[in-house]
Amino acid sequence: MRFSLHILACFLCIYSTYGQRSIEKTLEKLNTNSVPYIQAETLNTSHDLVLLDARTLAEYQVSHLKDALWVGRQKNRLKEILLQITDKNTPIVVYCSIGVRSERIGEKLIAKGYSKVYNLYGGIFLWKNSGFTVYDPQGQKTNKVHAYNKYWGSFLTNADKIY
């Protein structure tokens, strides 16, 4: 009987950790790693690169990374942005909420011949969770981040969530 209780306790512990959601587990499940990741800490100290925000315009208008260009998922907008980036060796970092939508945009950039394309690991959520700054449309620092919806917003722990 005592042995059975130990096995049951172990099973419950394993089951509870298996069911927990995290940005890391979600990226493992939804992404193919077709675009190399860049970590928030590395990006925070990097210069001379182009930041592309792959979220919706409504998300971008709440907050974004400093100097990021909104690209969304619209083909025409991506074409407009790429007309400004003529050197295909320019480092480009694409981000979204956690890194799923940005991987899709990154794949398109790589297919168009851009050679230094990176996906921000964990997106703006992990960026903000790590204590880095985001900006509103007026260029002012803000603690607000569009959380997309309640499910995805559960990954955002260090910001004022806007839906």
Mean pLDDT of the region 17-45: 88
| 84 occurs within a structural domain | yes
In tens, the pLDDT along 40-82 reads 999 999 999 999 999 999 999 999 999 999 999 877 899 999 9
Q: What is the pLDDT of residue 98?
A: 97
Question: From residue 102, how far is each of 5, 86, 141, 156 by CA, in Å?
Answer: 46, 20, 23, 17
- Give a yes or no: residue 1 inside a domain: no
**Tokens 């172990």 label which residue?**
10
CATH of the domain at 33: 3.40.250.10
pLDDT reading at 17 higher than 80: no
pLDDT tens, residue by residue, 140-159 = 999 999 999 999 999 999 99
Query: 142 lies in which domain range?
Result: 23-162
The answer to the question of residue 47 being in a domain is yes
**Residue 88 lies inside a defined structural domain of this protein:** yes
- What's the predicted TM-score (pTM) here? 0.86
Q: Which tens digits make up the pLDDT trace of 97-121? A: 999 999 999 999 999 999 999 999 9
Predicted pLDDT at 2: 55
| Residue spans of beta strands (DSSP E) within 47-89 | 50-53, 69-70
> 72-111 burial, b if ≥16 CB within 10 A, otherwise e?
beeeeebeebbeeeeeeeebbbbbbbbbbbbbbbbbbbbe
Residue 19 has pLDDT above 70, yes or no: no
Residue 10 — very low, low, confident or very high, per pLDDT cuts 50/70/90? very low
d(CA 63, CA 26): 23
The answer to the question of residue 11 being in a domain is no
pLDDT of amino acid 74: 78
What is the domain count for the chain? 1
DSSP bridge partners of 52: 69, 94
Domain assignment present for 100: yes
Q: Considering the domain boundaries, does residue 8 fall inside one?
A: no
- Kindly state whether residue 93 falls inside one of the protein's structural domains: yes
